[in-house]
Amino acid sequence: MDTILVVNAGSSSVKFQIFSIENPGDLKRLIKGQMDGIGTRPRLVAATENSSLVDRSFSPIEIRDVPAAIAATAAWLRETQTFQLVAVGHRVVHGGPNYDRPVVVSHKIVKDLEEFVCLAPLHQPSNLAPIRSLLTSRPELMQVACFDTAFHRGHPAVADHYAIPERFYAEGVRRYGFHGLSYEYVAQRLFEIAPAIASGRVIVAHLGSGASMCGMLNGRSVESTMGFTALDGIPMGTRPGQIDPGVLLYLIMQKGMEPLEVQNLLYRESGLKGISGISNDMRELESSADARAKLAVDYFVYRIALNAGMLAAALGGLDAFVFTAGIGENSVTIRARIAEKLTWLGAVFDPGANAARKPLISRADSRIAIHIVPTDEELMIARHTVSLLAKHHAEVRVSEKIA
């Protein structure tokens, strides 16, 4: 059975899925798993649709970093599974100015992508670690890099520029946008479940530990809250979202902070964690009676509402608002609070449908539809991987005929 492995490596977890290729372009999910708690409380879990395959804890010494987690996960797969692996698809957060679509990986491409580690320090090193490992251990195996920035690359110049000298744009300093694999999946899913809405003006809110929003027109990205890096836009678990650049100048010039200190502050100590001083986990903040936790949640909702207005302006109106990702899919309260702030756009919220976690949580008389659409980045990566695999096989057949 030909299969595709999908790897989504983060800063403290490695998610993986295995898909079988049933027919050309037809994928079936066989295994879904992850190694999380890397460096603190590592735990490997994996399951099929119907049963658990493994639930094993490790010591922090055994799994101290992402490469160790990848090695342990790969060992478990080799020891317990007998699939015929034909390709591996990877999520890579930053593709820079040159990579606007999925590509078959080479050593040169990995070297190119290493240039963007400083622009995505939480993700890019982890994304590239399994690619390097497989290039060494399985050089014959096709690997495909799928970029979070690619979905946004069709933006008009006015949306992608910063108001700084043009030479910086030519060097790649521009607004890229992220979470593109999630937005691409949601856009495709909307055409399946609500085609009339999907072809209109839609804001998708990807709300999780990393959070952003995207304005779409006819299923294509028009504007995003994120920019040059994954720091901009709405607040996240440990990242601040929009911040006056003057604050950063103040930290460096007046407070004497080193650039790496500022980087650590922005990526690991800010956002919900920074405001609350308690946690970066929305579940903990929602259940806390601490005033700081309440402020963090209020700020999260407030900034999302502000950015919804910005994206609606970019779209020239709004036909639908979509919640996705961990918080968006699971927090009844956060969805309700955000939906209430969309009333000026014509939203009429249905509390009962929201509490029941129905796919449509707006009332029939609402001018804009409000949906919950679970995201599936791994399936999106698998689709891109099998597409490039099919293209590769077709090219091989043509070359054999010519020979």
Please write the tens of the pLDDT for every residue from 323-374: 999 999 999 999 999 999 999 999 999 999 999 999 999 999 999 999 999 9
Average the pLDDT over 19-36 and give the result.
Answer: 87
- pLDDT tens profile 195-252: 999 999 999 999 998 999 999 999 999 999 999 999 999 999 999 999 999 999 999 9
Measured at the alpha carbon of residue 173, what is the angle toward residues 168 and 175, in degrees to the nearest 5?
135
82 falls in which pLDDT band (50, 70, 90)?
confident
| pLDDT above 90 for 126 | no
Tokens 């990877």 label which residue? 90
Determine the Cα–Cα distance for residues 213 and 198; give it in Å rounded to an integer.
16
Consecutive H or E run containing 3: strand 2-9
Q: What is the torsional sign of CA 261, 267, 270, 273?
A: negative
pLDDT of residue 400: 52
| pLDDT above 80 for 1 | no
Task: Mark out the alpha helices in 54-163 (DSSP H runs).
Answer: 66-80, 107-114, 124-137, 157-160
24 falls in which pLDDT band (50, 70, 90)?
low
Q: Which residues are part of the catalytic machinery?
A: 148
Average the pLDDT over 159-182 and give the result.
Answer: 95
> What's this model's pTM, rounded to 2 decimal places?
0.92
